[in-house]
């Protein structure tokens, strides 16, 4: 239900309060109740280039916005790559007509020569109505991308440099830059970088499941990063052991191992008006090969007690059924499953997590 319709149909003062504009004060702020969706939740239909007449690929963000609104989501978090002022205006108009919130996704500037591209995209996102831009330092996965500590440390230096280039731009335009914990930084590493940048305009896109891949307890990740969070990728996870470690997969909300309800409560204690975006990625399980030597190339030694505690939990929470290998299915089945997964998680969010 859209917020305007919700107000009209509600006679309860308490319910009416939930739909009023957010007031920027901790003591009086009401929670953002609309449930959004991140672009990666439609990774197959947007980027996989699957051949399907039943589910034709999305060719631009406006098509995706229409679909997500029809599906019942209350907001979207999409890439602003390549947008000009004219397209940004169209997005803004349509998002407002549909009563959605809009958050952008953006790549960090690599160096001074890339700063103009970044600035142009920040400008477009602002014109489209975004007040938050999700970004990531690493597009891949730490344990697959780097084969030595020196390579990882060089990446760390470049990431800090990129964030320092980006900070004055987002500050000037009044847009918050939310860096995702994207299978790159462990808790302490990410907090250290945020403190180095030391800006109210640079914070976190808090992903509730990613750091399982780095052998960190997801609830501890949420507790540590919640004070820095500007926006959330909400997901549930399932795991399964395999010969080199364990497999990890996004799974429909409520069907996995995460205490999603508790995570939401922790996050909202620090930021009551924070937005939550579903990131239900329909894909094959990811391999976390922690039993191989290569996996450990970029990690300092972990205390044995910490590792043992994590591995005990992995074994205890292993999925009772094998995780689904999506790629073996025909294109239409993959795309239909992607839609079904997103709808199932939206239904759970409404019925069990208090979203509208």
pLDDT at residue number 353: 97
Give the residue, 3 or 70, on which the prediction is more confident. Answer: 70
Tokens of 230: 């500007």
Sheet holding 286-288, edge to edge: 236-242, 245-251, 286-288
pLDDT digits (tens, 9 = 90+) for 201-244: 999 999 999 999 999 999 999 999 999 999 999 999 999 999 99
Segment 152-161 shows an average pLDDT of 98
Residue 12 sits in the same domain as residue 69? no
Residue 68 sits in the same domain as residue 207? yes
Beta strands in the chain (DSSP E): 35-38, 75-79, 101-105, 132-135, 176-180, 202-207, 229-234, 236-242, 245-251, 275-278, 286-288
pLDDT at residue number 315: 84
The mean pLDDT value of the chain amounts to: 91
pLDDT digits (tens, 9 = 90+) for 237-260: 999 999 999 999 999 999 999 999
Residue 72 sits in the same domain as residue 17? no
Residue 337 sits in the same domain as residue 226? yes
Does some domain include residue 183? Answer: yes
Does some domain include residue 130? Answer: yes
Whole-number percent of the chain with pLDDT over 70: 91
Does some domain include residue 13? Answer: yes
Question: What is d(CA 90, CA 338) in angstroms, rounded to the nearest whole number?
Answer: 27
Does some domain include residue 356? Answer: no
Residue 7 sits in the same domain as residue 71? no
Residue 159 sits in the same domain as residue 177? yes
Residue 203's DSSP bridge partners are 178
pLDDT at residue number 24: 34
Residue 240 sits in the same domain as residue 283? yes
Residue 116 sits in the same domain as residue 166? yes
Query: What is the number of structural domains in the chain?
Result: 2
Segment 96-120 shows an average pLDDT of 98
Residue 92 sits in the same domain as residue 21? no
- One-character DSSP codes across 39-83: GGGGHHHHHS----SSSPPP-SHHHHHHHHHHHT-SEEEEE-TT-
Question: For residue 325, is pLDDT > 80?
Answer: yes
Residue 193 sits in the same domain as residue 163? yes
Question: What is d(CA 333, CA 64) in angstroms, rounded to the nearest whole number?
Answer: 19
pLDDT digits (tens, 9 = 90+) for 15-43: 333 333 333 333 334 578 999 999 999 99
Structure pTM?
A: 0.90
Question: Which of these, 34, 38, 37, lies nearest to 5 by C-alpha position?
Answer: 34
Question: For residue 81, is pLDDT > 80?
Answer: yes
Question: What is d(CA 168, CA 199) in angstroms, rounded to the nearest whole number?
Answer: 9
Give the CATH number for residue 330: 3.20.20.150
pLDDT at residue number 11: 34
Burial class (CB in 10 A: 0-12, 13-18, 19+), 156: middle
Residue 202's DSSP bridge partners are 177
Segment 4-12 shows an average pLDDT of 37
Q: In the structure, what pLDDT confidence band is assigned to residue 64 with cuts at 50, 70 and 90?
A: very high
Segment 131-159 shows an average pLDDT of 97
Phi, psi angle pair for 185, to nearest 5°: -105, 135
Tokens of 43: 């990774």
Residue 141 sits in the same domain as residue 77? yes
Give the residue, 31 or 300, on which the prediction is more confident. Answer: 300
Q: In the structure, what pLDDT confidence band is assigned to residue 301 with cuts at 50, 70 and 90?
A: confident
Q: Which domain holds residue 303?
A: 31-351
pLDDT at residue number 69: 98
Contact criterion met (CB below 8 Å) for 188 and 163: no
Residue 252 sits in the same domain as residue 305? yes
pLDDT at residue number 30: 52
Q: Which residues contact 125 (CB under 8 A, 6 or more apart)?
A: 80, 83, 88, 104, 106, 133, 175
pLDDT at residue number 20: 36
């Amino acid at each position: 239900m859209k917020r305007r319709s919700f107000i009209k149909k509600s006679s309860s003062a308490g319910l009416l309060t939930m739909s009023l504009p957010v007031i920027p004060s901790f003591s009086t702020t009401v929670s953002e109740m609309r449930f959004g969706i991140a672009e990666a939740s439609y990774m197959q239909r947007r980027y996989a280039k699957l051949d399907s007449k039943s589910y034709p690929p999305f060719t631009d963000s406006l098509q995706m916005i229409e679909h997500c609104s029809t599906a019942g989501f209350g907001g979207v978090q999409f890439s602003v790559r390549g947008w000009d002022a004219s397209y940004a205006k169209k997005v803004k108009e349509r998002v407002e007509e549909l009563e959605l919130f809009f958050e952008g996704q953006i790549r960090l500037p690599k160096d001074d020569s890339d700063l103009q591209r970044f600035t142009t995209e920040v400008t477009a996102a602002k014109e489209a109505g975004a007040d938050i831009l999700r970004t990531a330092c690493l597009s891949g996965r730490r344990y697959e991308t780097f084969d030595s500590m020196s390579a990882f440390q060089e990446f760390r230096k470049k990431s800090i440099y990129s964030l320092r280039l980006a900070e004055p731009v987002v500050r000037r335009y009044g847009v918050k830059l939310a860096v995702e914990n994207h299978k790159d930084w462990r808790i302490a590493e990410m907090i250290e970088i945020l403190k180095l940048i030391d800006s109210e305009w640079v914070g976190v896109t808090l992903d509730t499941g990613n750091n399982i891949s780095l052998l960190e307890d997801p609830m501890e990740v949420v507790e540590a990063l919640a004070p820095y969070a500007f926006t959330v990728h909400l997901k549930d996870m399932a795991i399964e052991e395999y010969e080199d470690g364990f497999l990890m997969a996004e799974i429909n909300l409520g069907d996995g191992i995460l205490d999603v309800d508790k995570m939401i409560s922790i996050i909202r204690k620090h930021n009551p008006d924070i937005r939550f975006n579903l990131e239900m990625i329909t894909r094959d399980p990811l391999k976390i090969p922690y039993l191989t030597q290569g996996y450990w190339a970029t990690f300092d030694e972990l205390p044995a007690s910490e590792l043992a505690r994590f591995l005990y939990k992995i074994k205890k929470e292993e999925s009772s059924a094998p995780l689904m290998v999506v790629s073996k299915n025909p294109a239409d089945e993959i795309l239909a499953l992607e839609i079904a997964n997103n709808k199932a998680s939206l239904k759970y969010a409404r019925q069990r997590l208090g979203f509208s």
